[in-house]
Amino acid sequence: MLVEAKNLPHHVGIIMDGNGRWAQLRGSARVLGHREGSKAVRRTVRAARRLGLRALTLYAFSEQNWARPGDEVDALMELLREFLTTERDEILDNGIRLSAIGNLGRLPHLVRAVLDPLRRESEDNDQMTLTLALSYGGREEIATAARELARQVAAGKIRPDDVTEKALGDLMPSLAVGDPDLVIRTGGERRISNFLLYGLAYAELHFADVLWPDFGAEQLHDAIASYQQRERRFGHVGKGVQPKTEGASVTRIAI
Ligand code: IPE
Ligand code: IPE
Ligand code: MG
């Protein structure tokens, strides 16, 4: 499939799912799937940058993923540290701004020690914003924003009527780069699993059966080509389907 250079989605989110199954299909431990998955992250970030996407948000670890066995969580944190260490130059040399959303306070020191300096060092970069969703939950993000507005009301800084959908959205770090235009989920499941809930309102969804370790430039291009064939209506009246005039009789129904 060919991707048009114009009409690119501004903000793409990806639910990177299927690492465990990828490994199990090969009779290997789940951790091996996560290791291959981090190679897919490298390929995908590079492909997104080459396409000229402005914002890419990757769901790397959910708030609910802490409930997984301790050794799997430890391995994921170690891989995250490794990714941030090995990709540092690639990120800085290519003008990528690295950002992170979620309950970052829960991340172990070994991750924060590489994540925080890279966020600082890359904060003025403007080619593409790469956001890692870490210990992230969409409901948690909404609750945090609501709590902040409640505090402002209690302190008399704003009135209850100021609690608008815009005021809530403005407090959500996941939407700092704008609403997601396209959200891709790999791994075959057709669900959102607590990703970007508030911003998803009018996102286009693309579900791919490919397991995350097998994802790369080609699959990203397919998802974007599919996005480019859609008509986004945002609740308005669209262009609709053009009636075929040649030889076709148009039946009108009186109402
Ligand atoms: C996605 O792959 C990675 C994370 C959630 C961290 P999974 O680990 O969920 O893989 P499956 O869905 O069990 O195959
Ligand atoms: C969603 O995948 C979270 C990430 C990709 C980080 P999960 O594997 O955790 O989601 P469920 O359990 O299938 O809903
Ligand atoms: Mg999964």
Ligand nearest to the CA of 23: 1
Q: Among 55, 103, 120, 110, which residue's Cα sits nearest to residue 83?
A: 110
Instruction: Kindly list the domain boundaries of the chain, sorted by start residue.
Output: 2-137+180-231+248-252
Question: Which ranges of the chain have pLDDT less than 70?
Answer: 1, 242-255
Tens-digit pLDDT profile for residues 62-106: 999 999 999 999 999 999 999 999 999 999 999 999 999 999 999
Query: Is residue 135 within 8 Å of 104, Cβ to Cβ?
Result: yes
Tens-digit pLDDT profile for residues 216-244: 999 999 999 999 999 999 999 998 776 66
Q: What integer pLDDT is reported at residue 240 of this predicted model? A: 76
CB of residue 59 inside a 6 A radius of ligand 2? yes
Active-site positions read: 17, 65
Residue nearest to atom 3 of ligand 2 (CA): 62
CA angle 156, 160, 164 (to 5 degrees): 125
The residue whose CB lies within 8 Å of the most ligand 2 atoms, and thus the one to mutate among 62, 76, 183, 197, is: 62
Q: What integer pLDDT is reported at residue 255 of this predicted model? A: 46
Q: What integer pLDDT is reported at residue 202 of this predicted model? A: 98
pTM: 0.94
Q: Which CATH superfamily does the domain covering 2-137+180-231+248-252 fall into? A: Decaprenyl diphosphate synthase-like (3.40.1180.10)
CB of residue 66 inside a 6 A radius of ligand 2? no
Q: What integer pLDDT is reported at residue 6 of this predicted model? A: 85
CB of residue 61 inside a 6 A radius of ligand 2? yes
CB of residue 21 inside a 6 A radius of ligand 1? yes
Using the mean position of ligand 3's atoms as its centre, give its distance from the Cα of residue 193 in Å.
Answer: 9
Query: Is residue 223 within 8 Å of 206, Cβ to Cβ?
Result: yes
The atom number, within ligand 1, closest to the CA of 22 reads 14
